[in-house]
């Protein structure tokens, strides 16, 4: 449940839906639509941050400068590639030893 902090309250409640693919639209009516939008955006951000933590997403702040965003993505990719290479290297070395043994026979 998300509630705005303003005097006029907007409350959005989510229920578990068995087959969400059957939902084609959701209609929300309120005299202060901007309050509904604010509450909905807050809910979406909360959901995204929760997924980022549980799924290990790397969060890039879209409000920061493009150079900063690009550097964060580059650094993250380089770190992941380096980690992958470190994990792969022992397997490659073992394969090369086996290949050399087979070819020397």
**Which residues sit opposite 11 in a β-bridge?**
3
The pTM score is 0.45
List CB contacts of 2: < 8 A, sequence separation 6 or more: 11, 12, 39, 40, 42, 43, 46
Per residue in 9-39, pLDDT (tens digit) is 555 555 556 665 555 556 666 667 777 778 7
Distance CA 105, CA 93 (A): 19
Where along the chain do its domains lie? Answer: 1-57, 58-105
pLDDT average, residue stretch 59-64: 88
């Amino acid at each position: 449940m998300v509630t705005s902090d303003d005097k006029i309250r907007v409350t959005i409640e989510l229920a578990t839906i068995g087959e969400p693919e059957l939902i084609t639209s959701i209609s929300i009516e309120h005299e202060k639509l901007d309050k509904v939008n604010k509450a909905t955006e807050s809910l979406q951000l909360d959901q995204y941050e929760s997924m980022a933590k549980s799924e290990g997403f790397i969060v890039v702040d879209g409000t920061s400068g493009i150079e900063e965003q690009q550097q964060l993505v580059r650094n993250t990719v380089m770190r992941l590639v380096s980690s992958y290479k470190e994990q792969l290297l022992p397997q490659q070395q073992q394969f090369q030893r086996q290949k050399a043994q087979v070819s020397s026979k």
